[in-house]
Structure 1
Amino acid sequence: MELMLVYAAVFIGGLILFERVTGIVANHFQRSSALNYRLKLLQGTEDSLSVFKGMVRERALDYDRGGFKLLVRLRRLFAQSGLKINALRLAIYTPVIAALVWLLLTYFGVSTIPAIILVILFLTALPLIIMMRVRGARMRKFIAQLPGTLDVVTRSLSAGHPLPISISLVSRELPDPIGTEFGMLSDELTYGTDLNDAMLNMIERVGAEDLKLLAISMSVQRGTGGNFVEILENLANVIRERAILRAKVRALSAEGRITAIMMSAFPFGLYFMISTLSPTYFDPVWASGYANVVFTIAFCVMFVGNYILYRLVNFDF
């Protein structure tokens, strides 16, 4: 069994290494480097409409927002993560991960039916966790870029350019994720979408709370008038101050977050330490026939406890 785990780990490592090497080689031989993903797709073609439609399909943005609520939320989560649909990669990784989880469960003595249920649950939860983590990182990067982006827009407006030209300038001069998102915003404006609707679509694609402030500012300015440059400058300052406050809160709560991580990892570390020092220590548990029930209850209690810890050390602001 240990040999099978080693073979599985070597196979997955070789697969990841092969993908990384091919990606590096492909990037090295590109004709020119693009600043963001949208500009990379536009290289060598003038059909920007087909590029825009392709990006919409890649991120599963072409869905009915009035459909089944759970499916709508899942597709919104996928769109906001910035990931792209890759059927080949999905077809490769899914059976490999399922086989590895099955081997681990078999190694720990889990019977067939519970092992199948756990594999299905793991394959369901893993994509959600990955999408949520990637979405969070992408949103943080977008928010960090947003004040500088507003500065670019205000300088362009001060130079006499109209707003669509200023948005197009951002899409050409800034990297991902904000470059591609403003590029899609520019495409929607080019193809006749109203500015308010285009901003709502970008909020749907990104999900950042600070972006809603920009949409509201644009909507109010269009309805009541006023100095739009001054509005954007004040909004950029507000977003910067919010970022500073967010960093202070994370610094003050760092000790609590590390404590929560240590408390969550401690039972697993203790189990592996005892198993290493005394391999027969848990044999009575396996021999009793109640190991599956005990571990199921323990994992449920740990899940509830970890959720409470997460809520205690993560703040909404």
Structure 2
Amino acid sequence: MTLILLYAAVFVAALVAAEALLRTYVRTSERHKAVNHRLTLLEGSENHRETYREMLKQRGIDGEWRSLPLMQRLRQYYVQSGLKFDAKRFSLFGIVGAICVWLVVQYLVPINLVRIPIFLLACLLIPVVIVWRARAKRMRKFSEKLPEALDVANRSLAAGHPLPAAITLVAREMPDPIGTEFGLLSDELTYGVTLDDALMNLNHRVGVEDLNLLAISLSVQAGTGGNLVEILQNLSKTLRDRFMLKAKVKSISAEGRITGIFMSMYPFLLYGMIRTLAPTYFDPVWDSGYGTIIVTALFVVMAIGNVIIYKMVNFEY
């Protein structure tokens, strides 16, 4: 069993290393190409409308995706993560990941009655965690670059360009995720979508709360008039102040968040260490017939503790 785990670890390490090298090569080559993914696709296609539809299809936004009754929230989270759907790659990583999870669970849990539910739960949670982390990272990057995008739009408006031209300039000059998302916004305005609907679609695709301020500002200005440059300047300053406040709160709560992460991982690390050093240490628990009840109770208590810790270190502001 140890030899199988070693082979599995070597295989996963080689797979991850190959993926990292490939990503490094792609990123290096992209430095000499377009600024963002949308411009890269437009360089190789003369049909902009088809490129626009293909980008929506890659993100899973084709069709009435928001009207699906059961999968609405999950699919929206997937769209906001910015991940590109690739069936072959998804299948490969899914099979390899399931095999690795099964080997780890088989090594740590000796009873099938407990092993199978833990395996299924892990196979369900790992993709959700990956999508959630990718979504959080993309939203954080978007929020950080949004004030800079508004500054670019301000300079275009101050030079006398209309709002659609300013949005197109942001799409051309800014990197992802700002560039691609504003590019899709520009395409929707070009193809006849109203400004309010296009901004609503942008908000659904990204999920950043700051976009609500942008949508409200542009909608009010379009209805009542006013100095759009001054409005966007004030909005850019407000967003920068919000970002600084978030960073300050995050730094203040860093110790609590690290403590919460460590306390969540510690029981599993301790169990794995004891299981490795003394494989028969937990055999009386499993042989007693109460192993399933004990494990279930421990997971419930840990879940309650994690929720409490999460509420303590995450603040509303």
TM-score by length of 1: 0.93
Deviates most, 17-26 or 253-262 = 17-26
Change (3 A) 1:89 1:260: same
Asked if structure 2 preserves the Cα contact closer than 8 Å seen for 1:38 and 1:183, the reply is: yes
- Which residue number corresponds to residue 128 of structure 2? 128
Aligned with 1:84: secondary structure?
Answer: coil
Aligned with 1:17: secondary structure?
Answer: helix
Question: What is the letter of the counterpart of residue 283 of structure 2?
Answer: D
Change (3 A) 1:261 1:148: same
Question: What is the letter of the counterpart of residue 316 of structure 1?
Answer: E
- Which residue number corresponds to residue 287 of structure 1? 287
Deviates most, 54-63 or 277-286 = 277-286
Q: Determine the C-alpha separation between the residues in 2 that align with 1:191 and 1:115.
A: 53
Change (3 A) 1:118 1:212: same
- Which residue number corresponds to residue 266 of structure 1? 266
CA apart distance, 1:98 = 1.2
Poorly superposed stretches of 4+, deviation over 6 Å: none
- Which residue number corresponds to residue 118 of structure 1? 118
Matched, 1:191 2:206: no
- Which residue number corresponds to residue 13 of structure 1? 13
Aligned with 1:70: secondary structure?
Answer: coil
CA apart distance, 1:176 = 0.6
Change (3 A) 1:101 1:79: same
CA apart distance, 1:161 = 0.5
Residues paired across the two proteins, number: 317
Deviations 1:253-311 (A, max 9, x none): 12221221222223233334544665543332233232232122212211121122112
Q: Percent identity?
A: 51
Deviates most, 277-286 or 182-191 = 277-286
Matched, 1:70 2:70: yes
CA apart distance, 1:12 = 1.8
- Which residue number corresponds to residue 206 of structure 1? 206
TM-score by length of 2: 0.93
- Which residue number corresponds to residue 181 of structure 1? 181
- Which residue number corresponds to residue 80 of structure 2? 80
Is there any run of 5+ residues in structure 2 with no aligned partner, and where?
Answer: none
Deviations 1:153-183 (A, max 9, x none): 1111010001111111111111011011001
CA apart distance, 1:29 = 6.2
Deviates most, 50-59 or 301-310 = 301-310
CA apart distance, 1:117 = 2.9
Is there any run of 5+ residues in structure 1 with no aligned partner, and where?
Answer: none
Asked if structure 2 preserves the Cα contact closer than 8 Å seen for 1:63 and 1:72, the reply is: no
Q: Determine the C-alpha separation between the residues in 2 that align with 1:142 and 1:62.
A: 22
CA apart distance, 1:70 = 3.4
Q: Determine the C-alpha separation between the residues in 2 that align with 1:129 and 1:27.
A: 25
